[in-house]
Structure 1
Amino acid sequence: ELNDLHIEALSVIANCLEDMDTMVLIQQTGGLKKLLTFAENSTIPDIQKNAAKAITKAAYDRKAENRKLFHEQEVEKCLVTLLGSENDGTKIAASQAISAMCENSGSKDFFNNQGIPQLIQLLKSDNDEVREAAALALANLTTCNPANAKAAAEADGIDPLINTLSSKREGAVANAATVLTNMATREPLRVSIQSHNAMHAIIGPLRSANTVVQSKAALMVAATVCDVEARTELKNAGGLEPLVELLHSKNDEVRRHASWAVTVCANDELMATELCRLGALDILEEINLSVSRKNKFSEAAYNKLLNNNLPLKYSQTGYLSSCDIISDGFYDCGRINHGTKLLPLKELSLKEPNDQRAILLINNKSEVPPPLSMEDKSSDIGYGRSISSSSSLRRASKEKTSAGVGSPTEEKSEPTSGRNTVLSKSATKEKGSSKKKERLNICISSSGVWRGRGVAVQPLHAQSERVLSVPKMTGEGSPDKEWCPPSDPDFCLYVYEVTKTILPITNMKEQVEALAKYVAERMGGHIPKEKLHEFSWELHISELKFQLKSNVIPIGQIKKGIFYHRALLFKALADKIGIGCTLVRGEYGRAWNEVKLMDRTRKGVIGCLPPPETYIVDLMFHPGELMKLRSKEADLYRFL
């Protein structure tokens, strides 16, 4: 009946419970059950609090046997009862005891229906210590337990957890971020978290000075920005800047989790470009050069950023794999050293031409052409849009094969300002266009010049000068805000022609050979080795730079190209029609493409096909010839 003795006795018992032999003795004599009953039924807050602390002390650390004994005595029921106490100290002690008991899987399962709802309610407490203890218990309950994460969400826990991210107690913030991370492993819960303005709420923790909070916040970002909408929201909320800053951290875990978050954020090209602008690529490169600071996540983040910035990847590494699909706007400015900034295409385009290496541009974008006449509709295909994926090209090819006609635009439109009017057919023929090119409607430039049936075809240098000069100035000294890369009508034509003639070929080897011959023909034909020095490609490139008034040259305008021009064109066209190939940069202007093909003359293991072999594609000396990698012929092609 002397309450002050009860409190002191509980302290002694707490010490005794740390010894395994004494714990077993107390359990065998019924003392453990009596302790739990006493704590549950007592009305004195200090007694309840000390009883919970005794359980916590015995259950923490490596005391798996203690936790097992507590679970057998149904300690969970006692702790759930204590969560409902009116005393904040008791609530905190009970939450901490639940955290300790979470190491026991049976206890974790018990709290799924009883305990988690009460802990969610404690997150709404005015007492920050209570919120911190409840968040810790929830963090331990939901770790590696999707069922408990779902239960926390079903108990309307997302809102109070997100609110806890703005708590003044760093422990509460870190624990709340952990719970939200655990929830985000389930897609429906992740979507729900995103809809509760989580991307704005995480900015504060990302800017925290506490390394634990920084680490948990970065981990939460990695778990929640798995789709474009969430990444865009994080960017608009200003979350990328503090995330990139965390890469500078001296704490290994913070740096590791920040790298992982950058890897996830860089899953789309726009976000990768923004991260590069903020300096993420430079920081990661510096980290990866350090033996002590680099980690698997920093390497993965660096590679992810490069994969979504192919111009930089090719400039730095000199290699694009078959998975690196060249898209419109890709440009090759030659080899640059690590740490060197790659200037954006717009800035490079607006520079005056100089004696530096020409920058090669891939651009298949064009305006939608005007409607075809009835005569043209029966025989021609309107090609006025960019097709960038192999699947869409294959689909387009099938439609053309079955229908025999294209899908021209039905609406009529008047020529816009600055667009040339239609001239006579004879004028077109005087330019030397073939009948196929006469009928093909292709947009030449954004200023409205068209190559088509009955349409005037202007010299390429005239078209390109206009294309490049328009973006520079739109008025009296005012720069154009809507700058577009120079258009490339010839490359558009190349894509159309290879889609129509080479894509339908069913044999992969024949496809590669046909594309190689096509590329060589467009770049000056085959060149005997002994006459390579006579091939005046340098003069041709210099003339183009002078005509375009820029170092940036659309690939389709190059009619005399050597190894690296042809290899880039081959890769760009191969990607358009779904032929898998690499692009490899060599020394002294050499570059080549590698393809993997099955050699069906070889016998593999019974019931299996032989592994594919790698071949170098000849685009120069014997266009279309395939040389096995590391063969004498292949080495003579790749190296001087």
Structure 2
Amino acid sequence: MEKKWKKGSDSPRKDTFDPVLVEGKTPETVVLLLSSKEEDILIKACEAIHTFGEKGDENKVHLLGLGALEPLCQLITHNNKLVRRNAVIALGVMATNSDVKNALKKMDAIPSIIDKLSLEEDVVVHEFATLCLAALSVDFACKVQISDNKGFPPLIQLLSSPDPDVQKNSLEVIFNLVQDYQGRVEVQELGGIPLLLRLLKSDYPVIQHLVLRILHRVTFNEDSCKTFREEQGFEKMMDILSNTEFSDLHADALQVVSNCVSDSESLHLIQKSGGLRRLMDFVPSPNSSEIQSSALKCITGIARSSENRKLLHEQNIEKVLVELLSVLDVIMKTSICQAVSAMSLHPASKDSFRELGVIPAVVQLLNEESLILKEAATQVLYSLTDCNQLNTHAVYEAGGHELLVQQLCGSCPRTVANSAATLGNMAKQEVIRCSILSHGAIQALVELLKSTNTQILVSTTHCLTQMTCDNEAREQLNSAEGLQPLVNLLHSYHKEVLHNACRVINICASDRTAAVEMCRFGALEMLQEINQSVNQRSSLSELVMSNLLNSNLSIKYSLTGFLSSTDNISDDFYDAGKARKDQRVLTLEELSQQPVNQHHPVIVVNFTSMPEEMEVVPVEQSKPEEKNISRTDSRALRKQKKKSRQEEETKPEPIPEPKPPTEQPQKMTGDVSLQLLAQKARESILLLADEREQYATLARLVSTAMGGPIKVEKLHEFPWVLHISKLKFKLQSNVVPIGAIKMGIYCHRALLFKCLADSIGLSCTLVRGDYNRAWNEVFLSNGNLSRKESCCYIVDLMHHPGSLLKANSLAAEHYQTI
């Protein structure tokens, strides 16, 4: 010490003070000494701090309360090596206490601690700096700080330290860091895997365990698995698994192997070293459930490859798994189920499991309380029943379908999804499907359609594609108000959800009532949007659109302006006019509830009965001489005095007196006028042998019913607008039965021609043009049987009723356009 003060001079300086021995007998005194300027005092104070702190957590907390932590954090960066060393030791000792650790996190000490990992520092500094980081790295925020401050490279370097304590502490820090993806990537990129494998030869079990646990996390990444193989990682794992002296490491080693066995290259390495047989031996081992569980995870991992499943099947793995299923441990049962599920992807294994009686045992697991076990059991049942009718029947015989329906109301999303998917597999058999329906499956599935979980939606819609093949199921779906949430799924951007939803809608579209409902919920508008999208459009979405329209001809005609010869008009068909772009076509019920307006009427077809609010007395019955005639007595109506229909029906009608606001529309049981026209068409046309004459006769019948022939130049004088306005006023409705129209033009006559032709079995189309134009196309073969040689004709219903105008001719074009 004298050399310092003399600095080369033999005589002491006058301003120096002789050394004073300072002793601190209380923690308070020692903490105060941490603020000293004297290095010797700092060295001794830090030493005293760590000695006092080592005696227990109570002492560490006491030092924290005295304010020792802040000066220690400053002293670890001191210029004096011994001061730094002792300060790091003291800080490391104190950091093992949770209260100290929490306080330390707030002091931003991590960058300074990482600096102490430099190879220039001695081993003791490394030991206690890593000890400090091991305590801090449990916290997520601290892990981010360590990574951001380049803590990984020095930690990886310290794996080569000669000191086992440094190795252990560094491994603990790394283990905490690799719980996150970025940490696993950094270990791989910094060449940590070879160093980790080298430490497996350590004499210290704690180091070996830490290495295996780190490798287990790191090998989740594909690149790390590849490096693991290249560095003979599998061989090293097999060496451990084959050595009974390392039995304490077997569970951890199996965990590592389970991450890297799904590809054929890894399996080849395992087989090469006899590892597959060794893994099989661990499965029935009664010594440790942890080892068994880890071995089962390996088997599950191996079974992810179809080639590997075949090899495992040849090793009779199914029998081993089934024998284990009787264990009481829930975790073991779960692991077994996961292995069975993976192996069930192999067709031969499906049959083996059934023959070994696994299905009733798995069904019973659905009664267990463990959610994770139920999830695994439902996954097994899905795998076993996929494309295997015998297994499906076995699940049914074991009462599995009833328990699976109950699982649809469960709280675990994966269990719910697995259950729905399994029921979908089972519903392919009619007897089972009926039984599933009887247990309330549809109501439960409807609730699942409202889920936001994608996997649940995929499985639920898959199940409904099978269930709705049954008429009863479709009725239940409609009654349970399932059509609206089903249609809502057309908004989904998930490809499989959208595809399955389209399949269910397509099936339900075969039912006219369901089709109308789905259109009311906006299905057509959504499908139009889908079919305009390059990414979402598919042949299925286009088919669904077509089938929905075919089941709802009213909307089809409104949207497309065309009905083909196979589109047969029936009761409740209505023409609401051409639909506006991006506007939903209203239902007949909605249209009938609207107040009378100035727009074109909605023309409705009803051969039998109509909704009450649209029932009307036909025009003929409103005449005084017919007031006592029964509304439905067609024979009495035919006895009326014969008059010229054209003269009578074109005669201007007097404008009726305004009705009081409270007066209700007149009511009847059907469109009698249309009924009479259909009857007359059957009687007068079906007896005709010539096809041309049939169409011509029907055209004249329609023309007569709608006001007779009208010359082109007199068309503007034809009072059809006034006539229909009177009808709307009389009916107090915008909805007008077609039979009530006695003055109709192109659009009215073409619709009447189409519905009468359909009713008697004649073939024709209905095409909407512009400006109230519409026409019918018929195909006549001219004696040739081949349709390809048939000619298309436009039926004249207006000017020369009964004339057939060849399509694309000048006469036809004049008829179709203004």
Q: Say whether residues 1:84 and 2:326 are aligned partners.
A: yes
Aligned equivalents of 1:295, 1:469: Cα separation in 2:
54
Question: Contact (CA 8 Å) 1:529, 1:621: kept in 2 or not?
Answer: yes
Quote the offset at 1:177 in angstroms. 0.8
For 1:263, the aligned partner's letter is: N
For 2:551, give the aligned amino acid.
N
Structure 1 residues 21 and 243, CA, compared in 2 at 3 Å: closer, same or farther?
A: closer
- Among 309, 317, 324, the alignment partner of 1:75 is 317
TM alignment of 1:237-276, pairs within 5 A: 237-276=480-519
Return the offset for 1:161. 0.9
Kindly provide the amino acid, as one letter, of the partner of residue 330 in structure 2: D
Deviations 1:155-182 (A, max 9, x none): 3211111111122111111111111112
1:316 maps to 2:559: yes
| In 1, Cα distance between equivalents of 2:452 and 2:766 | 45
Which deviates more, 75-84 or 300-309?
300-309
1:587 paired to 2:770: yes
Task: Summarize the alignment of residues 79-228 of structure 1 with structure 2, pairs less than 5 Å apart.
Answer: 79-114=321-356, 115-228=358-471
Judge conservation of contact 1:208–1:214 (CA < 8 Å) in 2.
Answer: yes
**Cross-structure match for 2:290:** 46
- How do residues 432-581 of structure 1 correspond to structure 2 at under 5 angstroms? 443=632, 451=637, 487-505=670-688, 508-581=691-764
C-alpha distance in 1, partners of 2:706/2:256?
Answer: 90
Match of 1:64 among 296, 302, 306: 306
CA contact (8 A) 2:609 2:669 kept: no
Query: Residues 350-392 of structure 1: CA distance to partner in whole angstroms, max 9, x if unpaired?
Result: 656543223322122259xxxxxxxxxxxxxxxxxxxxxxxxx
Q: What CA distance in whole angstroms lies between the structure 2 residues aligned with 1:242 and 1:19?
A: 41
Distance 1:46 1:525 in 2: 93
C-alpha distance 612-29 of structure 1, shift in aligned 2 (>3 A): farther
Matched, 1:359 2:627: no
C-alpha distance in 2, partners of 1:98/1:471?
75
C-alpha RMSD of the superposition: 4.1
**Structure 1 consecutive aligned stretches of length 4 or more whose deviation exceeds 6 Å:** 427-432, 468-474, 483-486
Tell me, in whole angstroms, the C-alpha distance in 1 between the residues paired with 2:781 and 2:361: 63
Q: Supply the distance in 2 between the matched residues of 1:450 and 1:43 (Cα, whole angstroms).
A: 98
CA distance in 1: counterparts of 2:804 and 2:426, whole angstroms = 53
1:423-481 superposed Cα distances (whole Å, 9 cap, x missing partner): 9xxx999679xxxxx9xx76179xxx9746599x9x999xxx99x9999867xxxxx9x
Query: In structure 1, what is the Cα distance between the partners aligned to 2:623 and 2:410?
Result: 73
Partner SS, residue 778 of structure 2:
strand
* TM-superposition CA deviations, 1:573-632 (whole Å, max 9, x none): 112122232211001221111233434348x6xxxx756543322222333333443334
Secondary structure at the aligned position of 1:243 is classed as: helix
Partner in structure 2 of residue 7 of structure 1: 251
CA 1:269–1:601: 2 relative to 1, 3 Å: closer
Unaligned 5+ segments in structure 2 are: 1-243, 611-616
Q: Percent same amino acid at aligned positions? A: 42
Amino acid across the alignment from 1:634:
A
* Residues 469 and 225 of structure 1, relative CA distance in 2, 3 Å threshold: farther
Change (3 A) 1:273 1:450: farther
Residues 294 and 122 of structure 1: CA distance in aligned 2, closer, same or farther (over 3 Å): same
Task: For 1:296 and 1:622, locate their aligned partners in 2 and report how far apart those are by CA, in whole Å.
Answer: 44
CA apart distance, 1:35: 3.9
Is 1:634 the equivalent of 2:817? no
Q: Distance in 2 between matches of 1:471 and 1:594?
A: 44
SS of residue in 1 equivalent to 2:307: helix
Matches within 5 A, 1:320-339: 320-339=563-582
Contact kept? 1:267, 1:308, Cα under 8 Å: yes
1:338-487 maps to which residues of 2 (within 5 A)? 338-346=581-589, 348-349=591-592, 353-365=596-608, 443=632, 451=637, 487=670
Distance 1:116 1:238 in 2: 35
Q: Confirm or deny that 1:615 pairs with 2:793.
A: yes
Distance apart, 1:568 and its partner CA: 0.2
Measure how far apart 1:492 and its partner are.
Answer: 0.9
CA distance in 1, matches of 2:456, 2:715: 63
TM-score of the aligned structures, taking structure 1 as reference length:
0.76
User: Structure 1 residue 200: deviation in Å?
Assistant: 1.6
Which letter maps to 1:336? Answer: A
Contact kept? 1:333, 1:360, Cα under 8 Å: yes
Q: Match of 2:491, SS?
A: coil
**Residues 234-269 of structure 1, C-alpha deviations (whole Å, 9 max, x = no match):** 233343343333333343333333333333333323
Change (3 A) 1:133 1:346: closer
Q: CA 1:243 to 1:345, structure 2 compared with 1: closer, same or farther past 3 Å?
A: closer
Distance in 2 of aligned mates of 1:366 and 1:272: 21
Q: Which moved more, 1:108-117 or 1:94-103?
A: 108-117
Cα distance in 1 for residues equivalent to 2:587 and 2:758: 23
1:561/1:141 CA distance change after superposition, 3 Å:
same
SS of the equivalent of 2:367 reads: coil
* 8 Å contact from structure 2 (residues 520, 587) kept in 1: no
2:284 is paired with a residue whose SS is helix
Contact persistence 1:366–1:443 (CA under 8 A): no
CA deviation after TM superposition for structure 1 residue 152, in Å: 2.3
Larger radius of gyration: 2
Which amino acid in the other structure matches residue 490 of structure 1? S
* Cα distance in 1, alignment partners of residues 661 and 300 from structure 2: 70
Moved more, 494-503 or 129-138: 494-503
Name the residue aligned to 1:376: none
CA contact (8 A) 2:746 2:798 kept: yes
Unaligned runs of 5+ in 1: 368-418, 433-437, 475-479
* Of 55, 69, 74, the match for 2:299: 55
Q: Letter of the aligned partner of 2:326 in structure 1?
A: G
Q: Secondary structure of 1:553's match?
A: strand
Decide whether the 8 Å contact of 1:442 with 1:492 is kept in 2.
no
| Structure-2 separation of matches of 1:250 and 1:629 | 44
Contact kept in structure 2, 1:141 and 1:148, CA below 8 Å: yes
Structure 1 Cα separation of the partners of residues 728 and 480 of structure 2: 43
How has the CA–CA distance of structure 1 residues 348 and 280 changed in structure 2, closer, same or farther, with 3 Å as cutoff?
Answer: closer
User: Helix, strand or coil for the counterpart of 2:580?
Assistant: coil
1:269–1:205 distance in 2 versus 1, CA, 3 Å: same
Q: CA deviation at 1:512?
A: 2.7
Tell me: higher relative CO, structure 1 or 2? Use CA pairs within 8 A at least 6 residues apart: 1
1:539–1:167: structure 2 CA closer, same or farther, 3 Å change rule? Answer: closer
CA spacing shift, 1:349–1:169, aligned 2, 3 Å: closer
Residue 282 of structure 1: how far off its partner (Å): 3.8
Change (3 A) 1:346 1:207: closer
The secondary structure found in structure 2 opposite 1:581 is: coil
Structure with the largest fraction of helix: 2
- Alpha-carbon contact 1:247-1:255 (below 8 Å) kept: yes
Distance in 2 between the 1:126 and 1:135 partners? 14
CA contact (8 A) 1:113 1:151 kept: no
Change (3 A) 1:510 1:21: same
Distance 1:238 1:208 in 2: 15
Contact kept in structure 1, 2:525 and 2:584, CA below 8 Å: no
Q: Judging changes above 3 Å, is the alpha-carbon distance between structure 1 residues 69 and 213 closer, same or farther for their aligned structure 2 residues?
A: same
